[in-house]
Amino acid sequence: MADELQEVVDTLAERLQRSVAIDDPQIRLLAASRHFGDEDTTRVFSVLNRSLDPRLCEQILAKGIVQWTSPGLVAVPNEGTLPRLCVPIRCAGLLLGYLWLIDPDATLTEHDKESAREAAERAGVVLYRDLIVHERTRARHEAILWELVATDPAIRSQAVEDLRAEQLFPATAMHFQVLGVQHRGAESPQTVAMEAALEDAQDTIAQYCGAQGSALVAANKSRAWLVIAQPRPLSRRETETVCDRLTARFDQLTHHDGQLVLGIGGPVARIEDIIESYRQAFLAVRAAQLVPSVGPIARWDELGPYALLMKMPAEDLLAAAQVPALAVLEREDGQRGLVTTLEAFLDNAGDVARTAGELKVHRATLYHRLKRIEAITECDLNRGEDRLTLHLGLKLRTLAAAYRNQTAPETSSAALRSVS
């Protein structure tokens, strides 16, 4: 495709004696001709970086060029950006990109514009053909990825062989890690936005991986996941950058009318074990959905006790949450905040000073509450087993309350079983 697009821009550039560029729908450079002294700083930046500053892209897209079906002049009040003719590249009703000609003095003739339209049509055929090939390849790769996390070991084994045959991952030693993504709701626009945001995340990961790694995406209506393969696991900072850009792109596309929940599985060293990272990623997603304190981006290795509890079937979890000592404490609590005090005390590993500061009470008040808790629960907070029972019980009750608050708890159970 690249050679054919390059031929289109070079031919038009020589005919008009002007520099020509073709961008994709996200205004990322696909091909550019040599310059004829008409370039501006924006064109030079685009050629060097293969993309534009996101804020400038927003200004350009705000002109409504996504809906254009014929050439038009785009003038952005941005230093270093001259007015340019924008020719939308379409084929089979799809917007596939834009052809650009810098035209600060509006000297392009109708004949020049017709030549640009013809070049855009040729580019459209090239891009449409590439899109079909890309979509077929992507569909095949997605099918393999879904089989890689199937419940049937035989299907997973065949998927591993298919992955290796397709050479989707480098042959060198790799670390694999799954980033799970789910949006809240079943609206089609959110699904499209999620997939587009994941493509941007792939580009970000490519900057870290280079030629030594890769990232593949599989998606359905409300859930998607991205498996990252590279010689070393992504650093915390790199992972945060990927997640931030993914959510920012989703927010941009949905106009903040939606929310993504992300889960990050642990790294594994073999293709065969990607299913473990996948399960961890979506259990982390589930924890983030049920426990607000976990946040919209949940790391499997930072879930603490929830990492263990999320593996329990929902029915077992609801039953285990019935801890007699805590049930008695809740009945006797009233407005005294004893349950809140106990959870803060246990979360802070029994640190009285830290707990008192967090609750904004005097130490003497805290000690009085703890003695009252011991009397009601008949537990000794200096005894490890009693602490463990109460602490796990509190976490179980948090999850159980979240399940009960959902409108369709049976759906929650099915969702949990699907990644267990």
Output the domain CATH number for residue 363: 1.10.10.2840
Of 300, 331, 360, at which residue does a domain stop? 300
For 94, the domain range is 2-135
Phi/psi zone of residue 352: left (φ > 0), alpha (ψ -120 to 50 degrees), beta?
alpha
Tell me: do 369 and 247 sit in the same domain: no
Q: pLDDT of the chain along its 420 residues, tens only?
A: 688 999 999 999 999 999 999 999 989 999 999 999 999 999 999 999 888 888 899 899 999 999 999 999 999 888 889 999 999 999 988 999 999 999 999 999 999 999 999 999 999 999 999 988 888 888 888 899 999 999 999 999 999 999 888 887 776 767 899 999 988 765 567 888 888 888 888 877 877 766 667 888 888 877 899 998 888 888 888 888 888 888 888 888 888 887 888 999 999 999 999 999 999 999 999 888 888 778 788 999 888 888 888 888 778 878 888 888 988 898 888 767 899 999 899 989 899 999 999 999 999 999 999 999 999 999 999 999 899 889 988 888 888 887 777 644 344 444 444 444
Q: Which CATH number goes with the domain that contains 274?
A: 3.30.70.270
**Does residue 283 share a domain with residue 247?**
yes
> 103 lies in a domain?
yes
Say whether both 350 and 281 belong to one domain: no
Report the domain count for the chain.
3
